[in-house]
Amino acid sequence: MKVALANKFDKKTVLEFCKNTFSWGDYIEYVWDYWIKEGNLLVIRKNKRPVAMCHVIIFSEDTRIWIEGIRVDKNFRRKGFATILVKESEKLGLQKNCFYSYMLIESRNTNSLKLARKLGYKIDEKWNFFSLTPKKIRSVPKTYFPTLNSNIIPPYSNNLSYVTSWRWLPLTGHAKNSLIKQKKIIYSNYDKIKSVAVLTDSDHFDSTLLVTLLSGKKIGLKKILQFIQNFAFKKKYKRIQILTKLKSLPTLPDLEKRLIFYLMKKKLRNKTNSIGYFP
């Protein structure tokens, strides 16, 4: 079965078979046009109609790919289409000398987890997803923007990530400095282990503030969350989405734990190899 690039004429059919993917619907209708522009939006067609899709982002500078939005029409499932799409995505990454492939799967999505494991993916990290309501806070806690020379990123981990547009990117030195310059990293000083967060706008969903909580203890986290609530209220955000590897957050009236996600990872090739293999 041939994999092709999606075009604007595929949209209506794809959205039709995606509309009931989850109990609440699906997000593909909000991201389709962005993914078309970004490129590498892949489909499999049957009788000239798309019956399966996925999107792959190639981060050449980080030697990784990100696979998202795997969908198959319910009338064409269990035919290996999802496997074909993932393997084609990996092939695109190998052509750009990428070493790793990542995808995000909700912890209760047993079918997707089974597929990912079958294709060689393993759980790399567990992330908790919270929602927080923007709100005016009377007494806004003090929160700070770090300088380029500050050492506020937790020193005990060299494998930190931050979330932008629901894609997990490595928090490298270059990325950290760029985020600091854009005033997208904040921290509080209420405990010995500083509470640190990365704030990014969602490229795909209007008025949505994405927050990656990197570290902190109860008091500091509560203060930084209240700051974020007030910040989002002032900037007229409609929703705040929080992703963190922290096991628990302090109790707040407007904070709700929603889901657990697994960050899945697969090695595509060894860094010592000059020529990658093609699955």
Q: Give 210's pLDDT tier (boundaries 50, 70, 90).
A: very high
Residues 6+ apart with CB under 8 A from 153: 160, 171, 176, 196, 214
Cα angle for residues 204, 117, 17 (degrees, 5° grid):
45
Instruction: Please count the residues of the chain.
Output: 279
Residue 144 lies in a domain: yes
pLDDT per position as a tens digit, 42-99:
999 999 999 999 999 999 888 999 999 999 999 999 999 999 999 999 999 999 999 9
DSSP designation for 60 = G
pLDDT for the residue 60: 85
Residues 6+ apart with CB under 8 A from 167: 57, 66, 68
Tell me if 242 sits within 8 A of 209, measured CB to CB: no
* Numbers of helices and strands, H then E, in the chain: 6, 13
Query: DSSP alpha helices (H): ranges in the chain?
Result: 11-18, 28-38, 81-95, 110-118, 173-181, 218-234
How many domains does the structure of the chain reveal? 2
54 in the same domain as 142: no
pLDDT per position as a tens digit, 253-269:
999 999 999 999 999 98
92 in the same domain as 51: yes
* Distances in whole angstroms, Cα of residue 48 to Cα of each of 32, 56, 89: 19, 22, 21
257 in the same domain as 132: yes
Residue 271 lies in a domain: no
Q: pTM for the whole thing? A: 0.90
pLDDT per position as a tens digit, 6-57:
999 999 999 999 988 887 789 999 999 999 999 999 999 999 999 999 999 9
pLDDT for the residue 223: 92
Say which range, 59-63, 80-84, 170-174, 271-275, has the weakest mean pLDDT.
271-275
Distance CA 137, CA 227 (A): 8
Q: Above pLDDT 70, what percent of the chain?
A: 95
252 in the same domain as 158: yes
Which pair of tokens denotes residue 193?
A: 């282990």
The mean per-residue pLDDT over the stretch 154-175 comes to 83
**Better pLDDT: 181 or 151:** 181
pLDDT for the residue 275: 41
137 in the same domain as 94: no
How would DSSP label each residue in 128-185? EEEEE-----SSPPP-BPPPTT---S-TT-S--EEEETTEEEE--HHHHHHHHHTT-E
137 in the same domain as 88: no
Q: Give 147's pLDDT tier (boundaries 50, 70, 90).
A: confident
64-72 and 100-106 as β-strands: parallel, antiparallel, unpaired? parallel
What integer best gives the mean pLDDT of the chain? 91
Residue 248 lies in a domain: yes
Sign of CA dihedral 115, 119, 125, 131: negative
Residue 52: how many other CB atoms lie within 10 Å: 25
Residue 275 lies in a domain: no
| C-alpha neighbours within 13 Å on the C-beta side of residue 168 | 26
Q: Above pLDDT 90, what percent of the chain?
A: 73
Tell me if 54 sits within 8 A of 42, measured CB to CB: yes
Residue 113 lies in a domain: no
CATH code of 77's domain: 3.40.630.30
Residue 172 lies in a domain: yes
pLDDT for the residue 278: 34
Q: Give 154's pLDDT tier (boundaries 50, 70, 90).
A: low
229 in the same domain as 186: yes
Residues 6+ apart with CB under 8 A from 147: 180
Residue 54 lies in a domain: yes
Domain with 203, as residue range(s), is 128-262
